[in-house]
Chains A and B, each alone.
Chain A
Amino acid sequence: MNFSFLDDYGSYFLNGAWVTLQLSFFGVLFGTLLGIVFALMRLSRVWIVRILATAYIEIIRGTPMLVQIFIIHFGLTNFGINFSPFMSGVIALTINSAAYMAEVFRAGIQAIDKGQTEAARSLGMSRGQAMRLIVLPQAFRNMLPAIGNELIVIIKDSSLVSTIGIAELMYNARTVQSSTYIPLEPLLVAAGVYFVMTFTLSQLLNVLERRLGKR
């Protein structure tokens, strides 16, 4: 094992990790917002709205993210739509996490006792108020483990966008590989950095879960 390349190339991994974090952050942020919308659509009383959301979720979950990334970045140029690589990466991660988050939110909302909504409605709250003030805050607490799981998946899956030339962690690891002709160690460093990120995140979530659980 020889890690001496880190003296010259260490910044590649740090910069790459920073881009990975940015990609994941925006992917999860927009994915969560969009996911809530799709979850509510799936619970809608209007069947066409339900079908649209279900179709979206099934299609996104049923096709490989790599294919989606290529369609967004290369395929859409067919229609004159050109995203920067970073934009394409964020969009791909967003539409993906939205599909998975939607299912997490839907399950979380449905797990809340119907009596909670009934009590809220009987007091005069609108459907929206009952959802926002009563159901979602309770659902969120139950959903935390599943949300945490999804965050970790997104961080790992973001390595796929290295294929469209975004200089994130995986891309930079391969750059170091080819510059130094060292096949193994740069990948081990990348794996280590990914692990530090996901492990830190899961520990943070554990703390948050305990805090919320105590109340």
Chain B
Amino acid sequence: MIEIKGLMKSFGKNQVLKGIDATIQKGEVVAVIGPSGSGKSTFLRCLNRLEEPTGGTIRFKDRDVTAAQRDLNVIRQKMGMVFQHFNLFPHMSVLENLTITPRKVKGMNKEEAEKIALELLRSVGLEDKRDARPDSLSGGQKQRIAIARALAMQPEVMLFDEPTSALDPEMVGEVLDVMKRLAQNGMTMIIVTHEMGFAREVADRLIFMDGGYIVEEGLPREVLSNPQHARTKEFLSKVL
């Protein structure tokens, strides 16, 4: 579904991605781990071109993401993204957060957009917050709304950029539960995360990044319990 070849990204002289090759299958759940500064967030943000790659190609289905001009916005509709800091729109109600893009970008009418939005709010257990302002929600609630907002565009793949890193510990579970259910329903997901337990349980594949490269990848259980590469061992010994 997504094919990445020789992906590179530099910020000025600082080369963050030094040639990433990866293929993501439809329905696959891929967890990306690695030390901070390893380029894992940049990698994810290159996939929908929130960061402009400086080299390599990304193909999403039959489209060339790296060359896309006007149709980039169409591609992005198919790639939902969830951010570490939620980035809900604070000047809108929860319901409006979920309906504004389907209405304004897809031209969906209000009734239909609200119907989809309410179903999604129910699925993340926050139907009663439809008229609340984002400021009045807890971190866990905000992130569940953010996931629902991305899903409201009916994407084919979901990108998660450290979705639980900004949460208080007691709220991590509720967000992971939502993500787990999404994975079970067959959503293609790429998750940059520090939650090793979650990666082991939910991901089909684990990618370990360090220094702008994919150092090691494989089944989460195998990579976590029997890492092959020295740097993977070193990283895991610190976090597990």
Residues of A that sit less than 8 Å from B by CB:
113, 115-116, 118-126, 129, 133-134, 137-138, 141, 215
Contact = CB atoms under 8 A, between A and B. Distances in A.
A211 to B, nearest CB: 13
Contacts of A125: 73, 101, 104-105
A126 B48 CA distance: 13
Contacts, number: 61
B74 interface: yes
Contacts of A129: 104-105
Interface stretch (B54-62, B76-84, B192-200, B211-219): B76-84
Given A123-B81, A123-B150, A124-B101, 11 more contacts: A113-B87, A115-B85, A116-B89, A119-B146, A121-B50, A121-B76, A122-B79, A123-B77, A123-B80, A123-B105, A124-B74
Interface of B: 48, 50, 73-74, 76-77, 79-81, 83, 85, 87-91, 100-101, 104-105, 133, 146, 149-150, 153
Contacts of A123: 76-77, 80-81, 101, 105, 149-150, 153
Contacts of B149: 123
A13 to B, nearest CB: 42
B76 A138 contact: no
Contact of B87 (A115, A126, A133, A137): A115
Contacts of B133: 215
A119 B77 contact: no
Contact of A122 (B50, B91, B104): B50
B76 A124 contact: yes
- For chain A, what secondary structure do more than half of its interface residues adopt (helix, strand, loop), or is it mixed? helix
A14 B88 CA distance: 49
22 contacts: A115-B83, A118-B83, A119-B87, A119-B88, A120-B101, A121-B73, A122-B48, A122-B50, A122-B76, A122-B83, A122-B150, A123-B77, A123-B150, A123-B153, A124-B74, A124-B76, A124-B77, A124-B105, A125-B105, A138-B91, A141-B91, A215-B133
Q: Which of A116, A121, A122 has the most CB of B within 10 A?
A: A122
A116 B104 CA distance: 16
Nearest to A212: B91
A131 to B, nearest CB: 12
A119 B76 contact: no
Nearest to B50: A118
Given A121-B50, A129-B104, A215-B133, A116 B87 contact: yes
Contacts of B87: 113, 115-116, 118-119
A115 B100 CA distance: 17
Nearest to A126: B73
A169 to B, nearest CB: 38
Given A133-B100, A138-B90, A122 B81 contact: yes
A122 B47 CA distance: 11
Contacts of A124: 73-74, 76-77, 101, 105, 153
Contacts of B88: 119
Counting from the closest, the 6 A-B pairs by CB-CB distance are A124-B77, A119-B87, A122-B81, A115-B87, A123-B101, A124-B76
B48 A133 contact: no
Nearest to B74: A124
Contacts of B74: 124
Nearest to B48: A122
Nearest to B70: A126
A141 B90 CA distance: 12
A134 B149 CA distance: 14
Contacts of A215: 91, 133
A133 B101 CA distance: 10
Q: Which of B79, B89, B133 has the most CB of A within 10 A?
A: B89
Q: Which of B74, B79, B80, B87 has the most CB of A within 10 A?
A: B87
A138 B90 CA distance: 8
